[in-house]
Structure 1
């Protein structure tokens, strides 16, 4: 069997690993970007994705690249804390299984674990998709074509595969009323002040977050209210306009903001479709299940969703049955997380002083003894049922041509 996966992000790489290394499929991964993604923000990885990563043997690699965040601190314009929330308040209900990792580092782990037999092609994507009862033909942007038994759209919330097969993006992407950005810069003084904290501004309608990276750089994360889903032509200018009046370290951060090409900037949105597959074409990851950054589980759901899809392809007799089984099992999990994200969006970025006071009070209560269970339950509420009830493929030994960190071969840890 042969699969073409469009998108070399978290979901696409996780699915490629399972299809080739476990099911023995021939796999080609296409990525329209010219190279691996270097921009991105810190993600909290837990829940069903953590279960899938453990079954795939990934956890030791993720542990090596994690960031030991001690707390989230909400600061005023003078850098004084208005509220604090220790990460162990969330980790305890999860049995300590909560890790923070940069999104590009998570993709690096997945990419390095691919067998060398998996074709990984950058700078090319789908231009036309034609289906027959027995397969899919994909015409690519470089003029070549690929034939496959299955085509997977793992190319994000602005999926080209989804647009070509299911229709215009406007029918499926739900803008939640915010824009977000992420970038890195050099500032030794800010790096020392941040330490192992994830520091955020305690502000209305917008939030800027900073955290220190292990290479001495500082990473910035921003989210602000934006009723117009259209993205600005110049994201750097947009950030100066939205955050230029804030205090603390923000003015220095904006002064060090890189050129637009090195800034990740997008709308905060969800993908909502009536069906995730059509014939031999299926969507996975943010292309069909984007929950938005406010719910803190997009990376986890991407890995777990890919795991469930591969599992169904392993046990079903027909590809069409596998795609239907994947959606039947996984859609309820995604729907719950999307609902939670819509419900808490205003708490994430309060718009009124009253909402701001309520958030501070909630953060204070979450830090009290015994309240961590409640806070953690709210964070992971949509992960049930556990992954073991949705998938049956066991963890498999590493393929012989894959990097092995125990033998000192090339890996993200070297």
Structure 2
């Protein structure tokens, strides 16, 4: 059996790996002209791929169900080689004075060491490497039309070709074109969380010495600017601010200068290094009643975007890819050549939803609840967050944080599919 996967990012590559593990053929279609550079540092300057999600050079905290999935893929050690080794998150007031600090040992201790900070692009590189050079990954084309019938699904691509398969998987991110073609416009599912985010790479050897191995953020009500070291000469910026209007500005750089320009310490230097076209997007979620339609399914941010305010997006995508492949693998036990009818395929995709969606729904609700603390809107909320972070290393605080970081072993992500092949 064969699947066409739209999107060559983390979700798409993980889905391809697991489907091949289940005996399927998998073709990955990626709009970007070539693979992202192996290092996320270079990927920040690379053109966006079809996934349209946060730039691949973003720093991500990787833990939870996706960590267990990477272990089952045999990739734990390889991924840890890409860890950034950040020691802490340090917050500063608008004038540069220290306000709070979260030591990296806290989440590591809560998760039993199953916690890693790395660049999004480096995780993608590990997955692409694991898929191998013989994998069918086609760059420079995207999805144009989807046609389904009783025998299969046809994907008409932007290069004019048409690919036939048993299943079509949309792994093309928060602005998914697959979702729009099959399920309708993004506006039906996009839930704006009241903030805009931006990211870019900059070169400043002197500044790297100041940042050391900490993510440092300058904060004020409704706005914060963060920066972290990538090498001896290069760093990355991550800026976020509240915005009641979800529409994006025509000139993102000018908007960043306007909103973040009042912050002190090293922020003026950071803003001066901002390129003309930084990554810039709304902060939001994709909330859908269902993720499949007959022979088409969505995975990753295309259906389960939790937002940077909730975290674990990459981890959830990798874990969901495993579950999707497990359920599809039950269609033809022991034979990659057998065919399955549309009703059988649709039932497998509904089982995938049933195992994964409850966890995603819970995570999305938590993200909406925590949104007001990610960039506090008022001095009072900012004060409360600072106090909470100052207490973060205490036993009581660790007990409060544990439910957000530790994933119970009996979640639907980990429940083995009955009859699935190992």
TM-score (norm 2): 0.89
| Change in CA separation of 1:390 and 1:346 when aligned onto 2, cut-off 3 Å | farther
Quick one: distance in 2 between partners of 1:331 and 1:316? 21
1:46 aligns with 2:63: yes
Find the counterpart in structure 1 of residue 54 from structure 2: none
Q: After superposition, where does 1:248-263 map in structure 2 within 5 Å? A: 248-260=265-277, 263=278
| Change in CA separation of 1:294 and 1:383 when aligned onto 2, cut-off 3 Å | farther
Contact 1:55 1:394 in 2 (8 A): no
In terms of mean alpha carbon deviation, does 34-43 or 126-135 score higher? 34-43
Query: Which of these residues, 386, 411, 418, is aligned with residue 385 of structure 1?
Result: 411
Contact 1:276 1:288 in 2 (8 A): yes
Q: After superposition, where does 1:224-303 map in structure 2 within 5 Å? A: 224-260=241-277, 263-303=278-318
Contact 1:311 1:393 in 2 (8 A): no
SS in 2 for 1:209: strand
Contact 2:391 2:397 in 1 (8 A): yes
Find the counterpart in structure 2 of residue 92 from structure 1: 109
1:345 aligns with 2:346: no
Deviations 1:145-190 (A, max 9, x none): 1111110000001100000000111001111111111111101111
| Change in CA separation of 1:72 and 1:394 when aligned onto 2, cut-off 3 Å | farther
Quick one: distance in 2 between partners of 1:348 and 1:198? 15
Q: After superposition, where does 1:58-97 map in structure 2 within 5 Å? A: 58-97=75-114
1:127 aligns with 2:148: no
Find the counterpart in structure 2 of residue 111 from structure 1: 128
Quick one: distance in 1 between partners of 2:232 and 2:182? 42
1:313 aligns with 2:339: no
| Change in CA separation of 1:247 and 1:102 when aligned onto 2, cut-off 3 Å | same
SS in 2 for 1:113: helix
Shift of 1:372: 2.2
Shift of 1:250: 0.9
Contact 2:91 2:219 in 1 (8 A): yes
Deviations 1:331-376 (A, max 9, x none): 0000010000000001111001110111011111212245323223
Find the counterpart in structure 1 of residue 361 from structure 2: 335
Shift of 1:36: 3.6
Quick one: distance in 1 between partners of 2:246 and 2:29? 27
Quick one: distance in 2 between partners of 1:150 and 1:238? 42
| Change in CA separation of 1:114 and 1:387 when aligned onto 2, cut-off 3 Å | same
Contact 2:230 2:236 in 1 (8 A): yes
Shift of 1:319: 2.1
Quick one: distance in 1 between partners of 2:236 and 2:58? 7
Find the counterpart in structure 1 of residue 158 from structure 2: 141
SS in 1 for 2:391: helix
SS in 1 for 2:207: helix
Find the counterpart in structure 2 of residue 400 from structure 1: none
Shift of 1:34: 2.4
Q: How many pairs does the alignment contain?
A: 393
SS in 1 for 2:240: strand
Find the counterpart in structure 2 of residue 213 from structure 1: 230
Quick one: distance in 1 between partners of 2:65 and 2:404? 15
Quick one: distance in 1 between partners of 2:113 and 2:366? 23
Computed over aligned residues only, the root mean square deviation of the Cα atoms, in angstroms, reads 1.9
SS in 2 for 1:33: coil
Quick one: distance in 2 between partners of 1:123 and 1:382? 40
Query: Which of these residues, 383, 391, 397, is aligned with residue 365 of structure 1?
Result: 391
Find the counterpart in structure 1 of residue 11 from structure 2: 11
Find the counterpart in structure 2 of residue 175 from structure 1: 192
SS in 1 for 2:209: helix
Contact 1:271 1:286 in 2 (8 A): yes
Contact 1:311 1:392 in 2 (8 A): no
In terms of mean alpha carbon deviation, does 23-32 or 320-329 score higher? 23-32
